[in-house]
């Protein structure tokens, strides 16, 4: 068997694939963040909490209402998105005139409150959520055993990422959105209801976090802290990709998943720091991020 730096190539392929799977979560989460920042200029620190709420929504839909994973995939993002819109209408919309920092503080505070409530109610060990029956088991790819569910995560996340990118960058609706970011007054003069569009966009970004939460529920524990642990990494992904760049968020999400996966093979102890090292390097060389323009 051929080896690269003492690691058999077959094992390496397996690790790369795993990296890609983790990358799909990063991509999905950072996509939501990028949409919200790029179009609304809000640094949404409650994104992690909203991701966690998505997972909990899936849990409750299954255990209280008997609705399975596939229902959750649709309903949980809608519920979480709706809660996001409520937050935007009631609180965030009052802060647009102020510095970005206030939005950041508000969403950060909200995240702490939401996480605290969930932790108080459900403890930190988390709740079990079973995999949908259709996606249990896996297939042998020759170089590794790929659980079907993980394969599904890559496919679904890629599809959602591409669709979002297409809507924002290539359709008329996306053009309106981008125009509203540049100059809300003129867009409003053309008869577009800008505040409503902003609310819906925030709801959409938050919904993406909820969707990622549902997808994560069967793999990770449905845990009040799952978002707090992930959000820091995801912010690093967004910073590396360039704040607000949709394509940047997607490509960097998958890319950093790969890098992290490789670190887990060659130097596992550093696997949770490698992304921040890269972030520091990127900020030194290209402060606007890899795909950023400003």
Name the segment binding another protein (CB under 8 A); options: 76-84, 91-99, 102-110, 268-276: 268-276
Piece of 72-80, 82-90, 138-146, 284-292 that binds another protein (CB under 8 A): 138-146
CA–CA gap between residue 254 and residue 241 (Å, rounded): 11
Least separation in angstroms between residue 122's CB and another protein is 10
Q: Under rule CB under 8 A, which residues in 26-65 are in contact with another protein?
A: none
**List 55, 62, 265, 275, residue binding another protein (CB under 8 A):** 265
Q: Which of 34-42, 79-87, 130-138, 240-248 is the region at the interface with another protein (rule: CB under 8 A)?
A: 130-138
Q: Is 153 in the site for another protein (CB under 8 A)?
A: no
- Which is closer to another protein, CB of 126 or CB of 242? 126
CB of 84 to another protein, least distance (A): 23
161 binds another protein (CB under 8 A): no
Q: Which of 130, 171, 183, 193 binds another protein (CB under 8 A)?
A: 130
DSSP state letters, the chain: --EETTEEHHHHHHHHHHHHHHHHHHHHHHHHHHHHHHHH----TTHHHHHHHHHHHHHHHHHHS---HHHHHHHHHHHHHHHHHHHHHHTGGGGTTS-HHHHHHHHHHHHHHHHHHHHHHH-SS-B--PPPGGG-SEEE-SSSEEEHHHHHHHHHHHHHHHHHHHHHHHSHHHHHHHHHHH-HHHHHHTT--HHHHHHHHHHHHHHHHHHHHHHHTTTS-B-TTHHHHHHHHHHHHHHHH-TT-HHHHHHHHHHHHHHHHHHHHH-GGGTTTHHHHHHHHHHHH-TT-SS---
- Is residue 68 part of the contact set for another protein (CB under 8 A)? no
- Measured at the CA of 108, the angle between CA 106 and CA 113, to 5 degrees, comes to 95
- Closer residue to another protein (CB): 194 or 237: 237
* Cα–Cα dist 235/238, whole Å: 5
CB-wise, 70 or 145, nearer to another protein?
A: 145
11 versus 95: smaller Cβ distance to another protein: 11
Please give the residues from 164 up to 193 whose contact with another protein meets the rule CB under 8 A: none
Q: Does 264 bind another protein (CB under 8 A)?
A: yes
Q: Which two tokens stand for residue 140?
A: 């042998």
Q: Considering the rule CB under 8 A, would residue 21 count as an interface residue with another protein?
A: yes
Tokens 């909820």 belong to 210
Contact flag: residue 15 with another protein (CB under 8 A): yes
Answer for which of 132, 138, 151, 184 binds another protein (CB under 8 A) is 138
Check binding of 220 to another protein (CB under 8 A): yes
- Binding region for another protein (CB under 8 A): 8, 11, 14-15, 18-19, 21-22, 119, 123-128, 130-131, 137-138, 144-145, 147, 149-150, 219-221, 223, 225-226, 229-230, 261, 264-265, 268-269, 271-272
């Amino acid at each position: 068997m051929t080896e690269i730096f003492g690691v058999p190539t077959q094992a390496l392929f397996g690790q790369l694939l795993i990296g890609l799977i983790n990358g799909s979560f990063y991509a999905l989460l950072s996509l939501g963040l990028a949409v919200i920042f790029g179009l609304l200029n809000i640094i949404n620190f409650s994104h992690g909490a909203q991701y966690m709420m998505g997972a909990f929504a899936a849990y409750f839909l299954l255990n209280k209402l008997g609705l399975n994973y596939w229902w959750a995939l649709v309903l949980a993002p809608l519920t979480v998105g709706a809660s996001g819109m409520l937050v935007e209408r009631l609180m965030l919309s009052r802060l647009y005139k102020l510095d970005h920092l206030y939005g950041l503080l508000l969403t950060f505070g909200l995240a702490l409150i939401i996480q605290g409530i969930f932790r108080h109610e459900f403890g930190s060990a988390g709740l079990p959520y079973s995999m949908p029956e259709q996606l249990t088991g896996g297939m042998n790819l020759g170089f590794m055993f790929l659980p079907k569910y993980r394969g599904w995560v890559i496919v679904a996340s890629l599809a959602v990422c591409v669709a979002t990118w297409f809507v924002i960058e290539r359709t008329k609706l996306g053009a309106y959105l981008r125009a509203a970011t540049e100059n809300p007054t003129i867009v409003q003069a053309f008869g577009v209801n800008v505040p409503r569009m902003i609310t819906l966009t925030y709801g959409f970004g938050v919904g993406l976090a909820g969707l990622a939460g549902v997808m994560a529920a069967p793999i990770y524990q449905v845990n009040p802290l799952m978002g707090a642990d992930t959000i820091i990494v995801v912010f690093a992904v967004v910073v590396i990709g360039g704040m607000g760049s949709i394509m940047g968020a997607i490509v960097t999400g998958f890319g950093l998943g790969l890098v992290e996966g490789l670190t887990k093979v060659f130097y596992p102890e550093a696997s949770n720091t490698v992304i921040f090292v890269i972030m520091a390097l990127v900020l030194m060389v290209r402060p606007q991020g890899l795909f950023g323009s400003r």
